[in-house]
Amino acid sequence: MPAARHPHLIERLPQVRGRLAAEAPIGPFTWFRVGGPAEVLFRPADEVDLASFLAALDPAVPVTVIGAGSNLIVRDRGVPGVVVRLARGFGAIAVEPDGVIAGAAALDVTVAETAAEAGLDGLAFLSGIPGSVGGAVAMNAGAYGNEVKDVLDWAEIVTRDGQRVRLDAVALAFAYRSARLPPGAIVTRARLRARPGDRATIAAEMARIRSAREATQPTRARTGGSTFKNPEDAKAWELIDAAGCRGLARGRAQVSEKHCNFLLNLGGATAADIEGLGEEVRRRVHAATGVTLEWEIRRIGIPAGGLTGVAP
């Protein structure tokens, strides 16, 4: 007797206007360019499509959202359930006299540039953060003394059961590189405050940010930005350096020589190489300094079994 056919998840999903794809590679959407496929990748057409899909989706199916993939490791065996990626339909930016309303898929740099062109000051810090607005809200992204929490008026989310809700900054309980979103919630839009300013001054500030980054970070590499959060009263990179991890390698993954809180895919690394290297750094930092580093990079999906050895 032939074995009973096990239907793929995609065959029992609600109808959508956007796009559904089975076993879709998602590593290419991330800066590290590693990792296995999404069991199903969903690109909703718009907020209504997303909300009605989630309302009709079996609550037992896990849902994971990815943004621009600039703070993300997708593990090698892929991500079970539905991975949502917001794209067209979520990228609009509306300029108001004292702020911007940006779709979650808009890139932070585009928001910063749009605000600057409109003569709005206060969002230049976003110009150096290579993520999307959704990721910036979820991570409370920040740089040079400014964070999303300082400028956010509200964020609109779709909850896992398909409700559309507007939350203010207090409800989001922002903390260092985190926001308290309801489990499974997806940010769809946010309003960021700004104030009228001088275009030339804002442009100069953005140019200063760009050159400061070029000088200190591997901005063109396959990386996930800062790997670990800065512990209270310490800099993660200093602890990593003190533990002798600058340049440490595992497989084709390496701790950046230029900024040692950045991990690099030198080309051909697996997610296990990168995550394993991060764990080795944590172990060595703890042994050398007694401090346990906390991951800032989010890791999603199922790891490949086993880790490769650390290069000498």
**Catalytic positions, written as ranges:** 177, 226, 296
Residue 21 CB, nearest approach to ligand FAD (Å) = 18
195-254 residues in contact with ligand FAD (CB under 6 A) are 217, 219, 223-225
Do residues 83 and 65 make contact, with C-beta atoms less than 8 angstroms apart?
yes
For residue 71, state whether it binds ligand FAD (rule: CB under 6 A).
yes
- Cβ-based neighbour number of residue 215 at 10 Å: 9
Q: Binding segment for ligand FAD among 113-121, 180-188, 269-277, 302-310 (CB under 6 A)?
A: 180-188
Dihedral pair phi/psi, residue 131, rounded to 5°: -105, -170
Which of residues 36 and 135 has its CB atom nearest to ligand FAD in the complex? Answer: 135
Residue found under tokens 């009228």: 196
Question: In this structure, what token pair is assigned to residue 109?
Answer: 């740099």
Site for ligand FAD in 23-42 (CB under 6 A): 31
Q: Which is nearer to ligand FAD, 223 or 270 (CB)?
A: 223
Interface map 125-144 toward ligand FAD (x if CB under 6 A): ---xxxxx-xxx-xx-xxx-
Nearer to ligand FAD, 217 or 254 (CB): 217
Residue 26 or 281 having the CB closest to ligand FAD = 26
Task: State the DSSP code for 295.
Answer: B
Q: Are strands 19-25 and 79-85 parallel, antiparallel or unpaired?
A: unpaired
Provide the minimum distance between the beta carbon of 290 and ligand FAD in the complex, in angstroms, as a whole number.
Answer: 26
**Would you count residue 67 as binding ligand FAD (CB under 6 A)?**
yes
Edge to edge, the sheet with strand 262-265 lists: 223-226, 262-265, 253-255, 249-250
Residue 203: phi and psi, rounded to 5, are: -60, -40
Considering the complex, state which of residue 94 and residue 200 has its C-beta at the smaller distance from ligand FAD.
Answer: 94
Q: How far apart are CA 108 and CA 136, in angstroms?
A: 8
Residue 226 CB, shortest distance to ligand FAD, in Å, is 6
Q: Which is nearer to ligand FAD, 143 or 242 (CB)?
A: 143
Q: Which of 89, 208, 86 has the alpha carbon at shortest distance from 136?
A: 86
Decide whether 119 or 162 has the Cβ nearer to ligand FAD.
162
Q: Is 186 in the site for ligand FAD (CB under 6 A)?
A: yes
Q: In what order do the strands lie in the sheet with 99-103?
A: 93-96, 99-103, 186-193, 152-158, 164-168
Q: Out of 298, 299, 302, 310, which residue is the one contacting ligand FAD (CB under 6 A)?
A: 298
Task: Using the structure block, give the residue that is written with the tokens 């230049």.
Answer: 124
Q: Which of 50, 68, 101, 245 binds ligand FAD (CB under 6 A)?
A: 68
What does the block give as tokens for 112?
């910063």
Report the chain's C-alpha Rg in angstroms. 20
Residue whose pair of structure tokens reads 């040079």 in the numeric block = 144
The stretches of 24-132 forming alpha helices (DSSP H) are: 47-56, 108-117
Contacting range for ligand FAD; rule: CB under 6 A; set: 8-16, 60-68, 238-246, 268-276: 60-68
- Residues 104-123, interacting with ligand FAD (CB under 6 A): 104
The residue assigned the tokens 């037992």 is 60
Our measurement of the distance from residue 270's CA atom to the centroid of its chain's CA atoms, rounded to an integer in Å, reads 19
| Candidate residues 51, 72, 169, 255; the one interacting with ligand FAD per rule CB under 6 A | 72
Determine the size of the site formed for ligand FAD (CB under 6 A).
Answer: 33
Between CA 63 and CA 60, with CA 21 as vertex, the angle to 5 degrees is 25
Residues of the shown chain interacting with ligand FAD in the complex, contacts defined by CB under 6 A: 31, 65-72, 86, 104, 128-132, 134-136, 138-139, 141-143, 181, 186-187, 217, 219, 223-225, 298
